[in-house]
Structure 1
Amino acid sequence: MQHASITLRFDPTLRPLLAPRNRTDLLHVNHDPAASLSHVVESLGVPLTEIGELRINGTTASPSQHPQPGDLIEVLTVPKPQPVPFSPIRFILDVHLGTLARRLRLLGVDTVYYTHRDDPALVQQANEEQRILLTRDRGILYRKNLRAGGHIYASNPDEQLFEVLDRYAPPLAPWTRCLTCNGPLAQVDKDNIADQLPAGTRATYDTFVQCTECRQIYWPGAHHARLTQIIEAAQKRVAAI
């Protein structure tokens, strides 16, 4: 007996989320009268956080609509830059994105990050503090109570950063946040922290900033040139959006 089917066309940028056998231009799946569009799409591996628009036979459709046999479903990716339901743009990152968290903080983007926090706690904090939850674990993005989230596709930190900048275009304020805790940085007089500095640093540097929360001290050390390169590349990327 031949089953009735529907046809889906996913935006090419979404196809990496599909099982390899489903990464085709037109994907035919059995029609389930009880399944909404959101259920069909998520069952194939694409969280709703990654979807910009759904269309049935060329007409914009709601995720709660139920497709009919023979329908063509188009699944579009999010617009870029993506509108978010709150301002300013702030992030919370899961355990897999520590390097990305530090780079966003380097750019002055409010970013919290934890090495030990479970999914429900991350979602709760994201919602309470109006943050976008970024993750490489799609499972957390399926949670219905999550207000805003995004999947990070790349594994390379440089590519991850460009993903975030392209998708959200957050305002940048380099050198204003602590790389360790995300707290604000402030200029500090060398004499007030001299006893906390290595002897070589005291002799070599005169300009310092300190985190107002964790008290971490920063100066333009050996990694300054590399950090400056990251900042300049990010600024060019956002300016081009």
Structure 2
Amino acid sequence: MNGPEIHVAFAPELGMFVPHGRRSGATAVATDGSSTLGHVVESLGVPLTEVGALVVDGREVPVSHLPGAGESVDVRAVERPQRVPGAPLGFLLDVHLGTLARRLRLLGVDAAYESTDIGDPALAARSAAERRVMLSRDRGLLRRRELWAGAFIYSTRPDDQLRDVLGRFAPELRPWTRCTACNGLLKEATKEQVVDQLEGGTERSYDVFAQCEECGRAYWKGAHHDNLEAIVERALAEFGSQTPSDA
């Protein structure tokens, strides 16, 4: 680039995306004179899904702003909780986030998940068609223009991933209302309705069941229920009083 030189400073939260030399203070960046500020920021490694306000010489500008020589740019992180246009709030997770998808569903959050790698174009198209927030650790996917909305998942640990999403988007929590396998809604079921899915010990020991309206899978308080209950209780204790994201 040999166009106007600008000075760019990134919020500390965005430091992981930029080269080490740009992580503290404002650094000089040469532009090509025709690219938007949004394009310049992305070319420096930061997905726009993670960017909040862009402030140029003290005034907020859109990503379409064309940088001028000598401008000072403050790239801020997204505010939390982040308000997403439209309702209800739904997510789409890529193939690498299966555990996070199941935990969101456990909490009653609408979380679609692709269990196979269908490719970035197809994921972005589904995000747009279904108006879902794309969750991914793939920066290239999050830079696709056809995405409706997206968010980078910062951690590789499911516990931290869940806290990140709940803290960022404040979705309404309705535990035990969704199928963790397919995301369908659950309904009460009698033992007779699900008996074909029960082994002898389960049939004798349990009397309260639920069943997915979509895939038909049966649920009951089995051997792993205590672990799941702990996940639910932690989430409700920390995030249950948040205002749902409904802007």
Q: Does the aligned pair in 2 maintain the 1:178–1:211 contact within 8 Å? A: yes
Please list, as runs of the form range in 1=range in 2, the aligned pairs for 1:182-201 lying within 5 A after superposition: 182-201=183-202
Could you say which residue in structure 1 is the equivalent of 2:245? Answer: none
Following superposition of structure 1 onto structure 2, how do residues 66-215 of structure 1 map, counting pairs within 5 Å?
66-116=66-116, 117-215=118-216
TM-score (structure 1 length as normaliser) = 0.94
* In 2, Cα distance between equivalents of 1:85 and 1:201: 44
Partner-residue secondary structure (3-state), 2:52: strand
Is the CA contact 2:9–2:22 (under 8 Å) kept in the aligned structure 1?
Answer: no
Contact 1:165 1:237 in 2 (8 A): no
2: distance between equivalents of 1:195 and 1:214? 14
Distance across 2 between alignment mates of 1:184 and 1:32 = 51
The range that moved more, 26-35 or 122-131, is 26-35
SS of 2:154's equivalent in the other structure is coil
Alpha-carbon distance in 1 for matches of 2:87, 2:150: 14
Q: What is the DSSP-based 3-state SS (H/G/I as helix, E as strand, rest coil) of the residue aligned with 1:139?
A: helix
Confirm or deny: 8 A CA contact 2:3 2:33 kept in the other structure: no
Equivalent AA in structure 1 for residue 126 of structure 2 = Q
Residue 30 of structure 1 deviates from its aligned partner by: 2.1
TM-score relative to the length of structure 2: 0.91
Q: Which residue of 2 aligns with 1:56?
A: 56
Question: 2: distance between equivalents of 1:141 and 1:3?
Answer: 27
SS at match of 2:122: helix
Contact 2:133 2:149 in 1 (8 A): yes
Determine if contact 1:55/1:73 at 8 Å carries over to the other structure. yes
Task: Give the letter aligned to residue 69 of structure 2.
Answer: P
Q: Distance in 1 between matches of 2:215 and 2:31?
A: 56
Report the number of matched residues. 240
CA RMSD, Structure 1 to Structure 2 (Å): 1.7
Q: 1:195 to 1:83 in 2, by over 3 A?
A: closer
Task: Give, in whole Å, the separation in 2 of the partners of 1:23 and 1:105.
Answer: 36
Determine what percentage of the aligned residue pairs are the same residue. 47
Give the distance between the partners of 2:196 and 2:63, measured in 1 at CA. Answer: 60
Q: Residue 149 of structure 1 aligns to which amino acid in structure 2?
A: G
Letter in 1 for 2:145: K
Give the aligned partner of residue 9 of structure 1.
9
1:240 to partner: Cα distance = 5.6
Deviations 1:213-235 (A, max 9, x none): 11111111121111111111111
Q: Secondary structure at the match of 1:96?
A: coil
- Note if contact 2:194-2:211 (Cα within 8 Å) is conserved in structure 1: no
Question: 2:69 aligns to what SS in structure 1?
Answer: coil
Structure 2 gaps, min length 5: 243-247
Query: Equivalents in 2 of 1:185, 1:36: separation in Å?
Result: 47
Q: Deviations over 1:40-79 (max 9, x none)?
A: 1000111111111101111111211122232210011111
Are 1:85 and 1:148, in contact at CA under 8 Å, matched by a contact in 2? Answer: no
More divergent stretch after superposition (27-36 vs 84-93): 27-36
Quote how far apart the aligned CAs of 1:4 are. 6.1
Structure 1 188/120 Cα, relative in aligned 2: closer, same or farther at 3 Å?
A: same
Which consecutive unaligned segments of at least 5 residues does structure 1 have? none
**Distance in 1 between residues matched to 2:29 and 2:213, nearest whole Å:** 55
Contact 2:4 2:33 in 1 (8 A): no
Question: What secondary structure is seen at the aligned counterpart in 2 of 1:191?
Answer: helix
* TM-superposition CA deviations, 1:58-112 (whole Å, max 9, x none): 1111211122232210011111111112201001110111000000000001111
